[in-house]
């Protein structure tokens, strides 16, 4: 997610600085403390930052028990991982309550970063990608070992791979569909999915994640020559990367179709190109492709879906991308309709257009554990998928298998600009600089001063600053805001 708003100029710019606020809970850093129920300033000692203090550039959310942000100098800053019992804490560098630079094996500036349940991925200003955490999420490539002790030992990650977690198995292929296939539903698969939901919910509520041996050190991801990555997204156990020419690369676990490769491949150990758009338009001049392209969808003539991808998002086991024409494509696990929003709860194995949103230009998308939320160019918010904790913001707890326009009075006449989703909560920043949150609030991650869930967008009070970006973690929310020095 990128911050919005125009840059301050002249003398006014010198009087402004970016600060990071956090609400919610980091079990690694705050095991004996109460959750932060309202946004609290994240303080960093001057010794960690510059002589005049710390300067921030962006917030990146975080995973199970840790938070991430990027400093103005391009360092990835992590905190919240004092407990050595779970690999989720190891992924952020075994740092404690005080934010510290993560020891990546590169001096290049970090421009984007993302975190899944227990793996992280970061992009340098040179378009390179580093990833670390769960071994199954780290592709074959150049691995740098013992970064915390300053040792840089290159290893082949394939030599250090362990077996996949037995809890998250691939469902049988019957009763699902890929793009263009027939729709059917087997009761056995539905039962299997629901059991997995229950298991995943129990896991998500746990403060530790088990076997530390399942973690891998930072790996420089090997991509095709000339590929430059500009953005990344991390799901429960899979990763997507967006290149500067709008191609999407994916790796990790794909048992529910979240890698969009047309099959239930359980493990993709090296980056693969995700066929989001017809290959006939890929690589062509974008303006030419747009001018020439058209498609027939359900008997109607629509402009081509686009010639490249401009936004990506990963949920727990599903993915979403936005094309240059504003079309939303989704793929992956579909138990609650979070992956496709087309009136189906079947898995989607290939990127498929959300047909009910055709004609609406989608500008931003965020994916949670079981839900998807997007914003249009007009500033409207649409949501679909699971809604057990009110994370859709529709005013009830009913799942939605079609995108539903949020008509909450709190968002009336407001233009949503930035959106982010945690496991079961959602946050937006509007054009007039207001922050709204809704969904699961067990740990105060909504920043509303209590631990009561909300099923409608509720305004968060942040005094004396202008919000620039928001990033939701699993149990917390980070806010980047500009305020007077």
* Cβ density class 58-72: b for 16+ within 10 Å, e for less: bbbbbbbbbbbbbbe
| Predicted local distance difference test score (pLDDT) of residue 344 | 73
State the total domains in the chain.
1
With respect to residue 51, please indicate whether it lies within any of the assigned structural domains.
yes
Do residues 64 and 215 touch, judged by C-beta distance below 8 A?
Answer: no
| Predicted local distance difference test score (pLDDT) of residue 435 | 98
With respect to residue 286, please indicate whether it lies within any of the assigned structural domains.
yes
CATH of the domain at 274: 2.130.10.30
| Predicted local distance difference test score (pLDDT) of residue 85 | 42
DSSP state of 187: H
What residue spans of 16-125 are helical by DSSP H? 87-90
Query: What does the pLDDT look like over 24-76, one tens digit per residue?
Result: 988 756 555 678 999 999 987 665 555 445 689 999 998 878 899 999 999 99
Give the domain range for residue 146: 10-484
Contacts of residue 176, defined as CB under 8 A and 6 or more positions apart, other chains included, come to 189, 257, 264, 346, 347, 349
Contacts of residue 374, defined as CB under 8 A and 6 or more positions apart, other chains included, come to 320, 322, 328, 357, 362, 364, 365, 366, 381, 382, 383, 403, 419
Pairing of strands 425-430, 466-472: unpaired
| Predicted local distance difference test score (pLDDT) of residue 277 | 84
Do residues 107 and 126 touch, judged by C-beta distance below 8 A?
Answer: no
Query: What does the pLDDT look like over 334-365, one tens digit per residue?
Result: 876 655 656 677 888 999 999 999 999 999 99
| Predicted local distance difference test score (pLDDT) of residue 28 | 59
**DSSP per-residue codes, 384-440:** EE--TTSTT-SSS---EEEEEE---GGGTT--EEEEEE-SSEEEEEETTS-EEEEE-
| Residue 210 region by backbone torsions, left for phi larger than 0, else alpha for psi between -120 and 50, else beta | left
* Cβ density class 102-128: b for 16+ within 10 Å, e for less: bbbbeeebbbbbbbbbbbbbbbbeebb
Do residues 318 and 334 touch, judged by C-beta distance below 8 A?
Answer: yes
Phi, psi of 366 (to 5 degrees): -140, 145
| Predicted local distance difference test score (pLDDT) of residue 303 | 52
10-residue mean pLDDT profile of the chain (485 residues): values are 38 69 80 82 68 76 88 90 45 64 92 92 97 86 56 40 30 31 32 38 37 69 96 96 98 94 89 79 35 38 75 96 96 73 78 93 96 97 96 95 94 96 97 97 96 98 93 95 84
Both tokens of residue 141? 């490539």
With respect to residue 257, please indicate whether it lies within any of the assigned structural domains.
yes
With respect to residue 387, please indicate whether it lies within any of the assigned structural domains.
yes
Contacts of residue 351, defined as CB under 8 A and 6 or more positions apart, other chains included, come to 179, 260, 274, 275, 276, 321, 329, 330, 331
327/60 Cα distance (integer angstroms): 25
Among 243, 265, 254, 273, residue whose Cα is nearest residue 319: 254
Both tokens of residue 446? 């909504």
With respect to residue 5, please indicate whether it lies within any of the assigned structural domains.
no
DSSP state of 169: P
245/307 Cα distance (integer angstroms): 10
With respect to residue 100, please indicate whether it lies within any of the assigned structural domains.
yes
The answer to whether the Cα torsion of 146, 147, 152, 153 is positive or negative is positive
**How buried is residue 351: exposed, middle or buried, by Cβ count under 10 Å (0-12/13-18/19+)?**
buried
44/22 Cα distance (integer angstroms): 13
With respect to residue 2, please indicate whether it lies within any of the assigned structural domains.
no
Both tokens of residue 470? 């928001």
Both tokens of residue 219? 């790996």
């Amino acid at each position: 997610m990128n911050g919005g708003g125009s840059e301050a100029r002249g003398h006014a710019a010198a009087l402004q600085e970016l600060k990071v606020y956090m609400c919610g809970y980091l079990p690694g850093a705050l095991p004996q403390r109460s959750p932060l129920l309202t946004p609290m300033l994240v303080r960093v000692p001057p010794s960690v930052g510059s002589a005049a203090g710390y300067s921030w550039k962006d917030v990146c959310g975080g995973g199970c028990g840790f938070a991430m942000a990027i400093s103005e100098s391009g360092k990835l800053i992590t905190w919240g991982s004092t407990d050595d019992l779970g690999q989720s804490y190891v992924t952020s560098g075994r740092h404690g309550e005080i934010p510290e630079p993560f020891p990546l094996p590169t001096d290049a500036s970090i421009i984007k970063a993302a975190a899944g349940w227990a793996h992280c991925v970061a992009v340098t200003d040179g378009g390179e990608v580093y990833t670390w955490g769960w071994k199954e999420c780290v592709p074959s490539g150049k691995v740098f070992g013992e970064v915390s002790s300053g040792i840089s030992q290159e290893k082949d990650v394939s030599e250090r791979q362990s077996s996949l977690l037995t809890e998250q198995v691939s469902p049988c292929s019957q009763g699902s569909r890929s793009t263009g296939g027939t729709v059917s539903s087997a009761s056995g698969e539905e039962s299997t999915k629901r059991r997995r939901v229950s298991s995943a919910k129990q896991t998500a509520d746990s403060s530790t994640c088990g076997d530390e041996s399942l973690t891998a050190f930072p790996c420089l991801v090997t991509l095709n020559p000339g590929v430059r990555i500009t953005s990344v997204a991390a799901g429960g156990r899979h990763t997507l990367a967006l290149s500067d020419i709008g191609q999407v690369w994916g790796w990790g676990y794909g048992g529910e179709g979240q890698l969009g490769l047309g099959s239930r491949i359980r493990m993709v150990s090296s980056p693969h190109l995700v066929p989001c758009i017809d290959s006939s338009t890929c690589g062509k001049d974008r303006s030419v492709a747009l001018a020439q392209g058209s498609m027939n969808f359900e008997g109607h003539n629509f402009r081509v879906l686009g010639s490249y991808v401009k936004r990506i998002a990963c949920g727990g086991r599903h993915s979403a991308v936005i094309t240059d024409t504003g079309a939303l494509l989704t793929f992956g696990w579909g138990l609650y309709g979070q992956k496709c929003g087309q009136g189906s709860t079947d898995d989607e194995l290939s990127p498929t257009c959300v047909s009910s949103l055709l004609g609406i230009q989608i500008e931003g998308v965020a994916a949670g554990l079981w839900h998807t939320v997007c914003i249009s160019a007009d500033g409207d918010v649409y949501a679909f998928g699971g809604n057990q904790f009110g994370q859709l913001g529709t005013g009830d707890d009913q799942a939605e298998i079609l995108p539903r326009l949020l008509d909450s009075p709190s968002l009336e006449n407001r233009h949503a600009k930035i959106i982010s989703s945690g496991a079961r909560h959602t946050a937006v920043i509007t054009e007039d600089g207001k922050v709204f949150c809704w969904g699961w609030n067990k740990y105060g991650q909504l920043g509303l001063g209590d631990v009561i869930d909300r099923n409608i967008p509720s305004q968060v009070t942040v005094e004396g600053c202008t919000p620039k970006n928001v990033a939701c973690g699993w149990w917390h929310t980070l806010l980047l805001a500009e305020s007077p020095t």
